[in-house]
Amino acid sequence: MEPLRVMTVFGTRPEAIKMAPLVLALKEREGIDCVCCVTGQHREMLDSALKIFGISPDYDLSIMQPGQSLSSIVSRTLHGLDDVLNEAAPDLVLVHGDTSTTFAGALSSFYHKIMVGHVEAGLRTYDRYSPYPEEMNRTLTGDLSSLHFCPTGQNRKNLAAEGISADVFVTGNTVIDAMKYTVKDNFEFFSPVLRDLKNNGRRTILLTAHRRENYGQPMQNILDAIVDIVTEFEDVDVVYPVHLSPSVQSVVYPALGDIERVHLIDPLDVDELHNLMAQSYLVLTDSGGLQEEAPSLGVPVLVLRRETERPEAVKAGTVKMAGVERQAIYDMTAELLTSSVSYEKMSRSVNPYGDGHACRRIIDAILWKFDRGGRPEEWSGE
């Protein structure tokens, strides 16, 4: 029997982090020919993640351009994938999550009548403009996909409510698999700032904020709250890896650049980010991935958004919604910095996103779909 040819398509650093362990697992599984294609929607950040996991793509579309628009990302990906899909002729294309690469990869595969598998399927906020454009990207990708790999049971319910019930599998999230490669007890930070923080006796708060829907007053509220926090709590350092987007940098550096104990640094490689998270006291973020990663390390998360497509973490108690108002962000952070009861309640909650075996479950489901194995076990959330 000919090997099953499975192509992974991704283009941003968050996608690379979550797809990397799946690529490695596909390459190790007998009976599968794994082909890796990256779009380069992110360039430097994507490349650094690939290097850490030791992945060399078979195809690289290199679509990134200065000031690229959403339309240009999608159109350049569609155009680039035409030749790649014709040449590689995969049996299945796997896309991840909710980026413009994700949507374009699924759409191109549909045009070529190639089956699509959606990793991290079923996340929803039910607000098409928040997060933007991610909510519509993942919804449209779900409509184009034949296999749906959901991190949690709630994601499966979301798809069922949309009429998608066939070939849906609850697998856990592959990011938990990825952390088995990156988090190490004896990790040595490359960044001098992070090396110094490790032993200074203060508590570290990891901050990330870059979402488009937070541009403008919400971002200013977040930054003002950070100033309030470090002013009030002298035993706290804030580390903010600032996104490379000019829209983010032009606001963040004037607001926080001269604030004592706020450390504005370049985006971190995934291994440094995961290990910084492991050594942090608290995470403040508008990122999706950190809501999944930090709980597996026992680190509470406050989400700097009005809603989340990851309600499982809120229900489990590992995550709380802080919103984008200055006072609310300050109050919720202050509570975790002053109340050991509140802190321990969050830090000891069970992570609902997986046990580190999502990749195996996904591959087992693929082989089942192509009549090459039995129906896989699913993640129970326990």
Q: Active-site residue numbers? A: 98, 120, 134, 210, 212, 243
Residue type, 273: L
155 within 8 A of 121, measured Cβ to Cβ? yes
Using CA atoms, how far residue 351 sits from 177, 210, 211, in Å, is 13, 24, 24
Nearest by Cα to 299 from 255, 343, 258: 343
26: which 2 tokens? 């596909």
Q: In whole angstroms, what is the distance from residue 59 CA to residue 89 CA?
A: 13
Write the CA distances from 272 to 152, 180, 276, 295, 301, integer angstroms.
Answer: 27, 14, 6, 17, 18
What angle, rounded to 10 degrees, do the helices at 100-111 and 134-144 form?
A: 20
Contact partners, residue 370, CB within 8 Å, separation at least 6? 4, 91, 92
Sheet architecture: strand order including 92-96: 59-60, 32-38, 4-10, 92-96, 115-119, 147-150, 168-170
Q: How far apart are CA 287 and CA 297, in angstroms?
A: 16
Distance of alpha carbon 153 from alpha carbon 352, whole angstroms? 10
Rg (CA), the chain: 20
Q: Position of tokens 């599984």?
A: 29
What gap in Å lies between CA 111 and CA 105, rounded to an integer? 10
